[in-house]
Amino acid sequence: MLIAGCDFEDSCEAVALSEDFSQFGLYASIGIHPHESSRYESIPDAFSRLVHDTKVVAVGEIGLDYHYDHSPREIQRKMFEAQLEFAEREKMPVILHIRDAMNDALAILSDYGGLKMLFHCYSGGFKYLDDVLEFDSMCAFGGALTWPSKGLGELRDVFRKIPLERILLETDSPYMTPVPFRGKTNEPAYIKHVYDKAAELRSMTVEELASQIETNAKEFFKWE
Ligand SMILES: [Zn+2]
């Protein structure tokens, strides 16, 4: 299991948690989320040290979020590129948060084609799927798979058709709470409900799917 950092403080917290709960196979990523980009002039200096912690297996969440625009787009792009360069230098995979910004994100990512990329909460539909799969990439899916909304039919279809070896599952807690806990705060334990729905959509048993996801995660993050 991986806990993702979204700013300097919770990147440090993710690393500390991954050490405290090491016996459960917890790992961490460090990154500055697009929402938080405007709080930083550049990547925190301490990241250069933190990235070498044995529990850190990726740089992220990094990316672009034009849905909320909590940071100006120009600043989001600058921080995104700086962190892609950092990941390239450190030979680390990246965890991408991209919302309503796929065109700009793909244009930037095309300069970093050697990176391993995880498209967290993949929401690009069939429109962007081929471009995304061209990269050395995984797509992660979460609670939205379980939501009843008809508008999510395409997301479920994408999930049914994407190659099995390119899938990871996530909670995105505290957000995106799966059925039957919608309206409550999401937590990692609810991943079970994502697995149940995902296995149903792929016509697999939960055990078969879990084994595949474990293989995918090991392949992507190179953890033990
Ligand atoms: Zn995110």
Name the burial class of residue 29, with classes exposed (0-12), middle (13-18) and buried (19+) by CB atoms within 10 angstroms of its CB.
buried
CA of 97 to the centre of ligand 1 (A): 5
Query: What whole-number distance in Å separates Cα of residue 162 and Cα of residue 137?
Result: 12
CATH of domain 121-224: 3.20.20.140
User: How far is the centre of ligand 1, averaged over its atoms, from the C-alpha of 109 (Å)?
Assistant: 17
Per-residue pLDDT reduced to its tens digit, 58-105: 999 999 999 999 999 999 999 999 999 999 999 999 999 999 999 999
CA distances from 33 to 6, 19, 79, 187 (A): 5, 22, 9, 20
Burial of 59 (0-12, 13-18, 19+ CB in 10 A): buried
User: In which band, very low, low, confident or very high, does the pLDDT at 224 lie, cut at 50, 70 and 90?
Assistant: confident
pTM for the complete prediction? 0.97
Determine the Cα–Cα distance for residues 197 and 174; give it in Å rounded to an integer: 19
Q: 23 CA to middle of ligand 1, Å?
A: 26
Q: How far apart are CA 19 and CA 54, in angstroms?
A: 9
* CB under 5 Å of ion ligand 1: residues: 61, 97
Q: For residues 122 and 130, is the Cβ–Cβ distance under 8 A?
A: no
- The residues spanned by each domain of the chain are 1-56+65-101, 121-224
